[in-house]
A and B are shown apart, each in its own frame.
Chain A
Amino acid sequence: MSNDTNNNPSLKESATFDRATMAEIRRAANTGIYDIRGFGAKRKVPHFDDLLFLGASMSRYPLEGYRETCNTSVVLGDRFAKKPIKLDIPVTIAGMSFGALSANAKEALGRGASMVGTSTTTGDGGMTPEERGQSSKLVYQYLPSRYGMNPDDLRKADAIEVVLGQGAKPGGGGMLLGQKITDRVAQMRNLPKGIDQRSACRHPDWTGPDDLAIKIQELREITDWEVPIYIKVGATRTYYDVKLAVKAGADVIVVDGMQGGTAATQDVFIEHVGIPTMAAIPQAVQALQEMGMHRKVQLIVSGGIRNGADVAKCMALGADAVAIGTAALVALGCNDPKWDDEFKKIGSAAGYYDDYQEGKDPAGISTQDPELMKRLDPVDAGRRLANYLRVLTLEAQTLARACGKNDLRNLEPEDLVALTVESAAMARVPLAGTSWIPGQKF
């Protein structure tokens, strides 16, 4: 470790009380408040790296790369909506708020997503004109706090996402600390400037799936049944939650695994609540299949998606599309080493920065500081995001073709094997070289 000051090999560090643990105890003792930070889970959890594809050879035939087509488009929300969303690629941008992110960052997300024909999503804090203007397909989040919730914006949206929770903090509300509540953010959220904003964990006017069914009807009535209604949940009791989302009338279900990021929440929440994305997908798909709704109600999964292999693995496990948040921010320039000196000045380092709540992001992304914000050129950053999204798609197509698929959604769990017993059990695919799926008969 870079901060290792101990060169004496006879000194032994405790695995239980390691230096990071002790530093946290001292921090808690000094401040009396839990650690709040951004970013997703940093602990290692079973992830898609533990899955491998079975490329075609003799028993199956691969498709020729770049010549034989492999479809990547997907239609979302054709269960009830008159105007479902058609995405050219199955990778969407997850909800991130203006407030948590700068206006330039939101604009860049819209630009990048639009260039490759996919959607982006608002966040807790409402819709900005920059964002609507730059996003050809924009999903409007409907959150417990209802900050910036406006029926005009609702009617401008291409889809509505009712947020029950997110992977970083299922069961918890949000928070935006005073440093980021600038005049514009305060005005959009009807709050006094500079205070710590607390977001509720439950919606104010309904509780539970029976009442949610009525709320969804209201949103459909207001938008004249035109746009799809998504329901987003943090991955925990995913099997039940997905079944209830279908019963409540969702067109699309978004399941966000525990690796999913956040702008600010308690570290204990980020690291200790929820289940890994890989474990959530089979539960969600099982629920949809049992109801005869797989592919009819589309499934979007998010939480720790980084490359085209992750995308293809999600699709193989049964997702219709994925959403990215943290990876999109990195593509824009989050944690870029070119700002390393500045990260060090605020006690962090490039690649480690997670204090989004402080609003001092040297990369100009998770900030409302006008000077820092200028560092992010929305046009240039948007292009980087578009490039990255194209790479994700090309990589996923490469793997799908190698498995002989002319459509990403034709990937199946049977195209996968697992490297570890844990991942085999969670993803419900066999351990590589065996027919053994832990917990299932064979």
Chain B
Amino acid sequence: MCGIVGLYLKNDKFENSLGELFEPMLISMTDRGPDSAGFAIYGDEVGEGWVKLTLRHPDEDYRWEELSDNLSASLGCEIKWMQNANVVVLKINTNESSARRALAELDSDVLILSAGSSIEILKEVGLPENIASKFNLSGMKGSHIIGHTRMATESAVTMEGSHPFSTGSDLCLVHNGSLSNHNRLRDTLKREGITFETENDSEVAAGYLTWRLNQGDSLKVALENALKDLDGFFTFTIGTKDGFAVMRDPIACKPAVLAETDDYVAMASEYQALVSLPGIENAKVWEPEPATFYVWERK
């Protein structure tokens, strides 16, 4: 039970102020989700042959430089890294699976929040305004961003249980609602080799999409299958490398509103999250239909 916000820029006009435009959107959803918050931002893309990981470690004083050096030595490749609060973004001149394997060997306690060429996922327990400030959201640049504020229903309030959930390379998912068949589905997905960190229903939705995409589904087909296999109530927003997608369940009780101008597409659980956007007065504003998905991607 939560608030969802997303902002996707159709051109580069607002790229330098993406975080600044997005911060009030996230904070306005505090009442819907006071327990934890997070966002996935896309930008600062790495080149061909590189992979970008967002990592954190349970130890707040973890020695990232040492890890980076060891990783570089073990992979025999160049690594760039930057730290943002207790999260680190590594850019590694190798492919994702090699990087994951090497990391697991060096320190299995390191948590990979996201992987891809553009995505960074930052999330934390606490009020949205504190999380935005902790990660300096307002100073961030990029092409698109989706965020989430969480009111925990059944699973614990932890960083791991916060959204967005990574669902694959440059993919993530945020969810508002409550799934009703996630426990059996989680068991099935575990047998298929998908791993889960929490008892969270939304993580199962994320794991489901990961599994479908691994099976070779396109995002569109994966979402069509999700409509058949997920029971309960949901509004999903899915971040992709080039844009985002929005989908509601067939009953469509959980709110969603979309706004589009020449410069951006914005999504939110409530209209009030959109009021601070430039030109919102003249934007096309509408609600997504049930069991229908909407995709925006940069060509």
Contact = CB atoms under 8 A, between A and B. Distances in A.
Interface of A: 202, 207-211, 213-214, 237, 240, 243-244, 247
Contacts of A211: 255
Contacts of A243: 152
A208 B154 contact: no
Contact of A207 (B2, B3, B233): B233
A435 B50 CA distance: 61
Q: Which 6 A-B pairs have the closest CB atoms?
A: A207-B253, A210-B32, A210-B1, A208-B1, A209-B1, A240-B154
Interface residues of B, number: 19
B200 interface: no
Contacts of B178: 208
A208 B175 CA distance: 13
B31 interface: yes
A211 B31 CA distance: 10
Contact of A213 (B31, B154, B177, B233): B31
Nearest to A217: B31
30 contacts: A202-B253, A207-B233, A207-B253, A207-B254, A208-B1, A208-B177, A208-B178, A208-B233, A208-B253, A208-B254, A209-B1, A209-B151, A209-B153, A210-B2, A210-B3, A210-B31, A210-B32, A210-B33, A210-B151, A210-B176, A210-B269, A211-B255, A213-B31, A213-B32, A237-B154, A240-B153, A240-B154, A243-B152, A244-B153, A247-B34
A392 to B, nearest CB: 35
Which of A207, A213, A240 has the most CB atoms of chain B within a 10 A radius of its CB? A207
Decide if the interface of chain B is mainly helix, strand, loop or mixed.
loop
Interface in B10-34: 31-34
A247 B151 contact: yes
Contacts of A244: 1, 151, 153
Nearest to B29: A210
Nearest to A202: B253
B234 to A, nearest CB: 11
Contacts of A210: 1-3, 31-33, 151, 176, 269
Interface string B264-295: 00000100000000000000000000000000
A413 B110 CA distance: 43
A384 to B, nearest CB: 44
Contacts of A208: 1, 177-178, 233, 253-254
A244 B255 CA distance: 18
Interface of B: 1-3, 31-34, 151-154, 176-178, 233, 253-255, 269
A202 B33 CA distance: 22
A247 B269 CA distance: 18
Given A208-B233, A244-B1, A244-B153, 6 more contacts: A208-B253, A208-B254, A210-B151, A210-B269, A213-B31, A247-B34
B32 to A, nearest CB: 4
Contacts of A214: 31
Central interface residue in A209, A210, A247, by most chain B CB within 10 Å: A210
Nearest to B150: A210
A237 B233 CA distance: 17
A240 B32 CA distance: 16
Contacts of B3: 210
Most buried by B among A207, A208, A214, A244: A208
A242 to B, nearest CB: 12
Nearest to A211: B255
A207 B176 CA distance: 11
B267 to A, nearest CB: 16
B158 to A, nearest CB: 14
A321 to B, nearest CB: 27
Contacts of B176: 210
A240 B2 CA distance: 15
B156 to A, nearest CB: 11
Contacts of B151: 209-210, 244, 247
Contacts of B254: 207-208
Contacts of B1: 208-210, 244
A222 to B, nearest CB: 18
A332 B250 CA distance: 47
A19 B154 CA distance: 41
Nearest to B177: A208
Nearest to A209: B1
Nearest to B176: A210
A213 B255 CA distance: 14
A232 B298 CA distance: 48
Nearest to B255: A211
Contacts of B34: 247
B39 to A, nearest CB: 18
Contacts of B33: 210
Nearest to A208: B1
A213 B269 CA distance: 14
B205 to A, nearest CB: 16
A349 to B, nearest CB: 41
A209 B178 CA distance: 11
A361 B253 CA distance: 40
Contacts of B255: 211
A380 B151 CA distance: 50
Nearest to B149: A210
Contacts of B153: 209, 240, 244
Nearest to A203: B253
A19 B177 CA distance: 45
A247 B127 CA distance: 13
Contacts of B32: 210, 213
A240 B201 CA distance: 14
Chain A CB within 10 A, most for which of B3, B151, B177? B151
A408 B7 CA distance: 55
B167 to A, nearest CB: 23
Nearest to A237: B154
Nearest to A248: B151
Contacts of A247: 34, 151
Contacts of B2: 210
B150 to A, nearest CB: 10
A209 B1 CA distance: 7
Contacts of B233: 207-208
A288 to B, nearest CB: 16
A282 B51 CA distance: 50
Contacts of A207: 233, 253-254
Contacts of B154: 237, 240
A237 B180 CA distance: 13
